[in-house]
Amino acid sequence: MPDWSEFTPGHWIGLGVVGYHVFLTLLWIVLKLTLRRRVAPWWLFIGYSGGLLIFLPFMELFRNPWWRRKWLVRAGVKRGHVVLDEGFGMGTSSIVAARIVGREGMVYALDNEPVHVLILWLRARIRWMKNLKVFLSSADSVNLPVESVDVVHACDSFHEFPMEQTLQELYRVLKPAGILAIWEEHEKKKVTNALNQAVERGMFSFIEQEKGFYKLMKT
């Protein structure tokens, strides 16, 4: 047996990190076996929950909510709207969107990362937000009625989606002349190609496209 008295703080930190990642792996296996909807792949789940999750909350502290509000307003989110926020991360955009749409509207926040869902669910409950519904789902299988959404918003997450299937699903849930708004920082070329193909098929038409921001209307 190891001599625990010889363990330094560094050893305990290392054991804690290993134990946390083992716990996350077991949690992912349980979710994968018990949930009917697809969850994030293991490498993504561990990457976010085991690494980025340590830093993302601090990044949100230094990013004023006005930055999120600016993109939501530019996307066309208004009072009374039904909004689908896909791939919400820490959920700040979803919370800001819920404030914009007010009691007359509704925000559905979707993510396939269980830890993100739990964090936003807690944030919404702390604020007593009844117009914000959080659910775990993949982007290409949204459990919402046909033509029920005014605006779909995706902030720096669309590159992680199966794009062709996701665009077909978003076309299904968007109302006639509904808006698809995407802000993308990383895979701009990949996202642009997928959106151009959707436009060529007659699903959407571009309203605005500038420096990683895409605003399209369902046709």
Per the structure, the count of domains in the chain is 2
> Is residue 57 located within the same domain as residue 69?
no
> Is residue 130 located within the same domain as residue 173?
yes
Of 45, 61, 77, which marks where a domain is finished?
61
> Is residue 12 located within the same domain as residue 74?
no
Tell me what pLDDT residue 2 has. 56
Q: Which segments of 64-183 does DSSP mark as H helices, in order?
A: 65-75, 92-101, 114-126, 163-173
Give the C-alpha separation, 115 to 131, whole Å: 21
> Is residue 79 located within the same domain as residue 112?
yes
> Is residue 56 located within the same domain as residue 136?
no
> Is residue 51 located within the same domain as residue 72?
no
Query: Which regions in the chain score pLDDT beneath 70?
Result: 1-7, 10-14, 17, 20-21, 24, 28, 31-32, 35-65
Tokens in use for 152? Answer: 């779909």
> Is residue 49 located within the same domain as residue 113?
no
Tell me what pLDDT residue 68 has. 82
Q: Which segments of the chain does DSSP mark as H helices, in order?
A: 9-34, 42-47, 53-61, 65-75, 92-101, 114-126, 163-173, 188-200
Axis-axis angle for helices 92-101, 114-126 (nearest 10): 40
- Range of the structural domain that residue 10 is part of: 4-61
Tell me what pLDDT residue 118 has. 82
> Is residue 70 located within the same domain as residue 28?
no
> Is residue 106 located within the same domain as residue 207?
yes
Give the residue from 185, 179, 138 showing the smallest Cα distance to 41: 138
Tell me what pLDDT residue 164 has. 93
Total-model pTM: 0.75
> Is residue 104 located within the same domain as residue 205?
yes
CATH number of residue 92's parent domain: 3.40.50.150
> Is residue 99 located within the same domain as residue 13?
no
